[in-house]
Amino acid sequence: MCEAEAECIAKLVLEGFSFACNSPSPKDALNMAFKTLKNGWNK
């Protein structure tokens, strides 16, 4: 993994946390964010 990829993933994780904090269901929002990161955008 290159530095740019690691930075991108870190930013997505941090945004996922922010997204979850502002969601009516934070646990569901985090699960969705990490599932998307794990499986990719098109799955």
Pairwise CA distance, residues 15 & 1, whole Å: 20
Q: Which domain holds residue 33?
A: 3-39
The residue whose two tokens read 């969705």 is 32
Asked if 29 contacts 20 with a C-beta cutoff of 8 angstroms, the reply is: yes
pLDDT at 28: 94
Which position has the higher pLDDT, 33 or 26?
26
Helices (H) and strands (E) in the chain, counts: 2, 0
pLDDT tens digits, 13-30 = 888 888 899 999 999 998
Pairwise CA distance, residues 39 & 43, whole Å: 6
Domain count, the chain: 1
